[in-house]
Every structure is written in C-alpha cells, then in structure tokens.
Structure 1
Amino acid sequence: MSRSTSERPALVLVAHGTRSARGVELVAALAEEVAASVGTTRVAFVDVLGPSPSEVLRELDAPAVVVPAFLASGYHVHTDVPREVADSGNIDVHVTSALGPDPVLAAVLLHRLREAGWQPGDAVVLAAAGSSDPRALADVRRAAAMLADLTRDRVEIGYVATGEPRVPAVVARVREEHGRRVFVASYLLAHGLFHSRLADAGADGVAEPLGVHPDLVRLLVARYRAGVEAVTAGAGAVRRHHRRVSPVR
C-alpha cells in the first residue's frame, strides 16, 4: 500500500556525474536554489560518482519526485533512472520528463551566447554531448530548432563525445561556408571534461554551460510540482481502491 503523502515529497535531482569539482559544485548550487522553493532536495548521479538514485531513494523511504537533469532523453533517462527507481524499493516515486529540450533552456542558451559576445549575424553551433540513442539525437535537433527560433538563424549541431559530426569540424565548415564569426552554445548543464574540450573547437567564442540560471531553477521547480500532483493523484487512487475492496463490517 502507498505511504502517506501528507508531507511534501522530496525532490531527487538526478545528474550524470563528473570528476570536475566545479561541475559537482554547480549541481549542488542548483539543488540549493531549487530547495529554497520546494523544500527537501537531494542530488544523485547515474555515473562517475555517487550517491546513486537508488541509494538516495532508500535513505528517504518516503514519497519522492525524481527529476532527470538531462538535456536529452537517451539511455540514462530511459534505462538507468527507471532501473534505479525499481532497485530502491520505494513505491511512492514519480519520475518526471527530462529537463530538455525546452524553450526555457533555449532562452538560457541565448543568454549565455550573449554573455560570450555573440551578436545577431554571428553563426551558432550547438554543442551537445552526443548519444547512440536516436531519441536523444532527436531531442538535440529539437533543442537546436528552438534556439534557431530565437537567433532567427540556422543553428548547426556538433557533438563532443558520441556521434558525428564533431564540434571542431562543424565550426570549421560553418566558417568556411559563411565567412562569419562562429560561436559555440554549450548544451551542457555544468562544467566538466566535455565543456573543457570546446575551448579547442576553433570558435570565436564559447558560451558557458547552462549552469545556475533563474529560469532553469524555475523549470526544475515546475517539473517537481507536476510530479507532486502525480504522486498525490496516485496515492488517492490507491486509497479509493482499498475503500472499494475493504470488507463490510
């Protein structure tokens, strides 16, 4: 039977994980900003370091909303996160959709580009980590289209780790074809190995990762609140079911 959801469910923010201390600190800072609006917020990682989502959920032993802090829905979102939730044994968990793609993120990307010196007329290459999952690649294409709507110009895509074409090749091609300045929009959540590689991409400017931005914080809060509604509705359905099947005394 589902446990009581009288207390506000905790938010479990699930990120990829990185060996970069700066990247880990950024995820922690993001969680702290979100916690100011939603209450108990824990961070978990699916790779590189811990704690894992299942470990965090077992420690909570209470209703929770898991928000995958991924910018595209590939293997980690479709396989790792559901497996971790199942392994936790916590039955009052709702997993929201991933953060991206989303128009809010496109707006943050544009903000980061402007901080890096981008101006209308400059070319943009969206740099994504990459994936072997076609669903994730489709998400990246959607993200590029959303950013293109804001820049009012075509946004090319390059990959940092998995997939082709790679970011340096795309930067070189765009510069040769159009003779314009080329800026890289970092479609990454935090600093780490992938973002550091962009410095050698040959661009005229590289934007910072999405990072801790007020709009990103609000997007996370919105994901959480939608998840709370799902948890509450699920618990209510269980209670109604038990009332129907309870024997008449």
Structure 2
Amino acid sequence: MRGDDDVLVLVAHGTRSARGVEMIAALARAVGARIGRTRVAFVDVLGPSPSEVLRATTGRAVVVPAFLASGYHVHIDVRREVADSGHRDVTVTPALGPDPVLAGVMMRRLWSAGWRDGDAIVLAAAGSSDIRALRDVQRAAALLAAASGTRVDIGYVATAEPTVVEAVESARNRSGRRVFVASYLLAHGLFHNRLHSAGADGVSDPLGLDPEIVDLLAQRWSAVSSPVAGSRYYREHDDDVCRPGRSGS
C-alpha cells in the first residue's frame, strides 16, 4: 500500500543540454501523472544528486535508473548515493534498458528518419568501459535486430569501440545499402549531436518522451510497490540482492 510521502526518484546521467534536461523533466512529469510523486536526480554534470533528493524524502523511495545499460553509474554511483543519503527505505529497480519496449520505440524513430526495409542499421550507444554495460548494449542490438528483421551493428560515441563512424563505414561497405543510425540515447545532447557527423544516410531521434517509455517506468514502480524494510538493490539478470555495506561485483 502506497503512502502519501512515497516517491519515485528518476535518476539520469545529467547533461548540459537544456533540451535534454527538459526532456528528463517532462518524462518525470508524465510518469508522475500516472503514479504520483516523482522527483528527478542526476549522477553527473548537474544536480540535485540522488542522495540530496533522498535526504529530502520522508516516505518510501523507489529509485529508477533512467539508463539504457547498467554500467558504473548504475552499479556503483547509484549504490553509493543511496548509502550516503542515510535513507533506510529505498528500493532500486532495474535500469530502463535494455528492453523490447525500447527496441519498438527505436523502430518508430528509424521509420520517421527515413529508414526502409533493406537499409542497414547501426545502433549508436554512449559507450562504457564496464563490460556489463557493453553486454546490455549487445542485448539492445539483438532486440532491435529482431524488431527490424535485419542485422544491427553497434557503434559507440565514446570510450568503447568501434566508433559510430567506423560502424557506419563498415555497414556501408558490407551491405552496399543506405545506412541509418538508431540513436540508443535517451535525450538530446552532445552525444546525440555527434551522430549527425558519422556519415550515415539518416539518424533517428533519441528515445525521448514516448508513451511506451512512460509505461515502462510506471511498471518499474508497480513491480516494487509493496512496502519493503530497509534499502534493497534489485539487478536485472542477477538474482543477487545487495544491501548497503555489502561490496558489489
């Protein structure tokens, strides 16, 4: 049973793009219209931080990482922020992605960008040095391949390889067809802007504010909506339940 003080905390990376910040805020407002009190926190670039939001929360909190892959920010930063907050009634859900819902949204974005059957696809992700995040991106590419019925290559904007430019060139040389970049990014910002110089025939919009993504976030809330005692961390594809003070892998 939900209390009046319970809150969903939507945790995003953070961006200097005003357009990107507003998209996250709009996403939180849309989710809040479904489930009640919703706050936004950021792990980098700008505030408030998750620990600051949690310290100002008196009721039970459900933290939803608005990340498309679970790497350092999800496994380390969010865990540390929850512990630093001192809040003792927090549940951290699995990250937003990967998920078949996101593959469906990417397909609609690709169609809008001009992609047609037979064109090649490069999924463009932010990149990470965390192997867990890279595995999640591979799963996202597999889901998009199933949705599109065609091979999906992967390119990274930063940190990992191949780069989006390299992936676009490789896909064009292999297929001899038009190449479209599927933006596996949540919001507009520096990373998405870089995709337009990757040499593709078209670039889809970021996932952004979409009714199905709002539904997905609301489902994250409802899946853990029963009261819990103490802070718990639930990891997708990982049966381990971690509590504050226990070192993670």
Instruction: Deviation per CA, 1:11-61: give whole Å up to 9, x if none.
Output: 000000000000000000100110100111000000000000000000112
Which is greater in Rg?
1
Residue 110 of structure 2 is aligned to residue 108 of structure 1: no
Quick one: distance in 1 between partners of 2:19 and 2:135? 29
Q: Which of 211, 217, 222 is residue 219 of structure 2 equivalent to?
A: 222
Task: Calculate the TM-score normalised by the size of structure 2.
Answer: 0.90
Q: Count matched residues.
A: 230
Q: Give the corresponding residue for 1:56.
A: 53
- Given candidates 174, 191, 194, the residue that maps to 1:194 is 191
Counterpart CA distance in 1 for 2:75 and 2:225 is 20
Where do 1:1-150 residues align within 5 Å?
6-7=3-4, 9-150=6-147
Q: CA deviation at 1:177?
A: 1.5
Structure 2 segments unaligned to the other structure (5+ residues): 231-249
Q: Which residue of 2 aligns with 1:244?
A: none
User: Contact 2:69 / 2:97 at 8 angstroms: preserved in 1?
Assistant: yes
Q: Taking structure 1 as the reference length, what is the TM-score of the superposition? A: 0.90
Higher alpha-carbon deviation: 6-15 or 157-166: 6-15
2:150 partner SS: coil
Matched, 1:205 2:202: yes
**Deviation (angstroms), 1:62:** 1.9
Amino acid across the alignment from 2:10: L
CA contact (8 A) 2:122 2:155 kept: yes
CA distance, structure 2, for counterparts of residue 5 and residue 172 of structure 1: 51
**Would the aligned equivalents of 2:3 and 2:59 in 1 still touch at CA under 8 Å?**
no
Query: C-alpha root-mean-square deviation of aligned residues, in Å?
Result: 1.2
How far 1:226 moved relative to its partner? 1.2
Matches within 5 A, 1:226-237: 226-229=223-226, 232-234=227-229
Task: Give structure 1 stretches of 5+ with no counterpart.
Answer: 236-249
Of the three residues 165, 169, 173, the one matched with 2:166 is 169
Task: Provide the rounded CA distance (Å) in 2 between the counterparts of 1:137 and 1:199.
Answer: 22
Q: Distance in 2 between matches of 1:64 and 1:18?
A: 24
Taking the aligned partners of 2:168 and 2:6, their CA distance within structure 1 comes to 45
User: Helix, strand or coil: the match of 2:94?
Assistant: coil
Counterpart CA distance in 2 for 1:184 and 1:72 is 18
* Residue of structure 2 in register with 1:242 after alignment: none
In structure 2, distance between residues paired with 1:82 and 1:47 = 14
| Contact residue 128 and residue 187 of structure 1 kept, 8 A | yes
The one-letter amino acid paired with 1:52 is: S
Equivalent position SS for 2:224: helix
Q: CA shift at 1:8, angstroms?
A: 6.0
| Structure richer in helix, relative to its length | 1
Superimposed CA distance per residue, residues 223-243 of structure 1 (whole angstroms, 9 cap, x where no aligned partner):
0111222xx1448xxxxxxxx
User: 1:228 aligns to what SS in structure 2?
Assistant: coil
